[in-house]
Amino acid sequence: MHQVVAVKAKKVPVRERLRRCEQEAEKQQKVEEVAEKLEKECQGLIEFHKSYHELFQFFCNNTTIHGAIRLVCSKRNKMKTAFWSVLFFLTFGLMYWQFGILYRQYFSFPVNLNLNLNSDKLTFPAVTLCTLNPYRYSAVQKELDELDRITHQTLMDLYNYNMSLVQSNWAAQSTRKRSPRSLSHHVQRHPLRRHKRDEPASLKGNSPPVDKSDWKIGFILCNETNEDCFHQTYSSGVDAVREWYSFHYINILARMPNTKALDESNFENFIYACRFNEVPCDKANYTHFHHPIYGNCYTFNDGNSSLWTSSLPGINNGLSLLVRTEQNDYIPLLSTVTGARVMVHEQNEPAFMDDGGFNVRPGMETSISMRKETTMRLGGSYSDCTEDGSDVQVQNLYPSHYTEQVCIRSCFQISMVERCGCAYYFYPLPSGAEYCDYTKQIAWGHCYYKLQVEFKSNILGCFSKCRKPCEVTEYQLSAGHSHWPSSVSEDWVFHMLSRQNKYNITSKRNGVAKVNIFFEEWKYKTNGESPAFTVVTLLSQLGNQWSLWFGSSVLSVVELAELILDFIAITFILSFRWLRSCQLPASAVPTPGAHDNTAFQPEPSGPSAPIGFTVEAVVTTLPSSNSLELHGQDRDAEIGLE
């Protein structure tokens, strides 16, 4: 039997009811704020799409790349979807193909050549002039006499030629007592021989072949045990005799403890007149050195004093020399030309007369006009050049700044000292080494000529080690010739020379030569390099290609990067979930399609196991008496209002 309890509602003032309503509203607002806060916390800082399809669809709907939206808009038309998909990925591939070309061009480090023409006062270069007359120095006179005597006998045996008919006064000295350091033993070890062209050189005999057109002449250089020999042969007998004579001549010079003992220079006997810019030269304007083949050499404006400058171009504002080309004390078997040799070079560069010089003819006036040209290369990744040679793995043996020829010759000399135990006489002497002489190093010639073969074929690696300098100054030369003096003026010219310079030779015209060296014009050329492809150029080219294929901007590139990062993140998350599912035990993994009905399945029956089931309790909170009073009062108020 139910009992109904009626509770009489008490009358509550309206103000109190409003206050309670406001409190309830505040509580509801706080509950909503807490719920919103919990919802935000559940969302997290970083969220990713649940699938690749959702990611791709979001990208196509929101990207600024042209054509991407077509992949979503045309999803109901499979033909259009396929067409736009192929077109999108085709343009994407073509764009990155162009990107690859641009990157390859950028990392090839191309350069632009900049040509500048400058007009200014020009510093006059150094000029080296050699006599082309190897002097018969008194310090080695006895050895040269013996070498000449042996050479005369060799020419008589090989060619039946007697030099006694054309020899000069020094031939009479061959009858003197021989030097105690006789060359006979060493010459016999390296004799000059001839043989047939198709037959190997023989160490026995000098019997000539029947057909003289098949002759080949040369000399043989063997090691200390005579087991390994090098055949140095020539098709020209003149070249063979000069090379053979030069080989023994070098050994004679190498015995001199000091090269200053060979200095027998007489500047006035070689250069009759010298002037620069209409001003006479003096001893402060030149230096002297000795060359084994080219004789006495003089370098003008070498930088030891104030440098010459040319304020005006033309023949009257350069260097003018009057030189003697007569050969009295020359060595006929070593030098076969007459005249002088000239080379123009920088002040801080050595004069390599074999590489850059040219000959001046006797009885001629040679006018040489110059044009200066400077080349400046970019170093680093742009070219394999060196600033000062400090980063080149070759020691500089010359007292000058770095050049490619200096490095190559130093490299060969260092290899010569390492392999042969001595230094070649034509190149500077390294510290602690001595020049090669077959009285001390009996087989150095065999080592030298074999090393020359390896050097020319770059087996030594000198041409690879020695890099070009980043800044090079060169002089482009052009020469003109005319007879000097002329037939109508030679009488008074030679008369003046005979009075002033004691010029009294028989062949007057062939005994002198005149040389003029001057700048052709004020302008000089400067060739500079600048990067052809900078970072700004690369970005500009990449932007052009991106705009061409997709019509988008830098922000579109960021969108594409975001797509790639999201794709990688989703792949990582899905892979991680798959790995975790693989590591769980098989019983904990639900079977696909099965339902969890454990709440409705009875426990296994047993003698002591009671029947178990699950009871879900639902608790409902009843309203309090105060709330009932409130509802009753509200109802009474509504009735009263009516």
Residue 463, pLDDT > 90, answer: yes
327-374: per-residue pLDDT in tens? 666 677 777 788 889 999 999 899 998 888 888 988 899 999 999 999
Neighbouring-strand partners of residue 78: none
Higher per-residue confidence, 222 vs 268: 222
What is the helix, strand, coil percentage profile of the chain, to 5? 40, 20, 40
* pLDDT, averaged across the chain: 77
272-290: per-residue pLDDT in tens? 889 998 889 887 888 888 8
Stated pTM of the model: 0.69
Q: Give backbone dihedrals phi and psi of 359, rounded to 5 degrees, phi first.
A: -90, 150
Residue 110, pLDDT > 80, answer: yes
Residue 94, pLDDT > 70, answer: yes
Q: State the pLDDT confidence band at 28, using cuts at 50, 70 and 90.
A: confident
Question: How many residues can be counted in the chain?
Answer: 642
Find the farthest-apart pair of alpha carbons in the chain and give their distance in angstroms, rounded: 169
d(CA 612, CA 274): 131
d(CA 263, CA 296): 8
Q: State the pLDDT confidence band at 165, using cuts at 50, 70 and 90.
A: very low
Q: State the pLDDT confidence band at 173, using cuts at 50, 70 and 90.
A: very low
On whether the CB atoms of residues 259 and 285 are closer than 8 A, the answer is no
602-622: per-residue pLDDT in tens? 444 444 444 443 434 344 444
The pLDDT value recorded for residue 605 is: 44
Mean pLDDT across the stretch 172-182? 47
Q: State the pLDDT confidence band at 443, using cuts at 50, 70 and 90.
A: confident
Residue 123, pLDDT > 80, answer: yes
The pLDDT value recorded for residue 11 is: 54
The pLDDT value recorded for residue 637 is: 43
Within 13 Å of residue 154, how many CA atoms lie on the same side as its CB? Answer: 24
Looking at 230-234, 542-546, 625-629, which range is the least confident one? Answer: 625-629
Residue 216, pLDDT > 80, answer: no
The residues, ordered by sequence, that sit 6+ positions from 444 with a Cβ below 8 Å of its Cβ are 420, 421, 422, 436, 437, 438
The pLDDT value recorded for residue 168 is: 43
41-73: per-residue pLDDT in tens? 555 556 677 788 888 788 788 877 777 777 777
Q: State the pLDDT confidence band at 299, using cuts at 50, 70 and 90.
A: very high
Q: State the pLDDT confidence band at 39, using cuts at 50, 70 and 90.
A: low
Short-list 128, 111, 124, 122, CA closest to 525: 122
d(CA 147, CA 140): 11
Whole-number percent of the chain with pLDDT over 70: 75
Residue 465, pLDDT > 80, answer: yes
Tokens of 122: 């020009």
Q: Is 377 helix (H, G, I), strand (E, B) or coil?
A: coil
Tokens of 134: 């190897």
For the ranges 28-37, 54-63, 306-315, the maximum mean pLDDT occurs at 306-315
The pLDDT value recorded for residue 128 is: 94
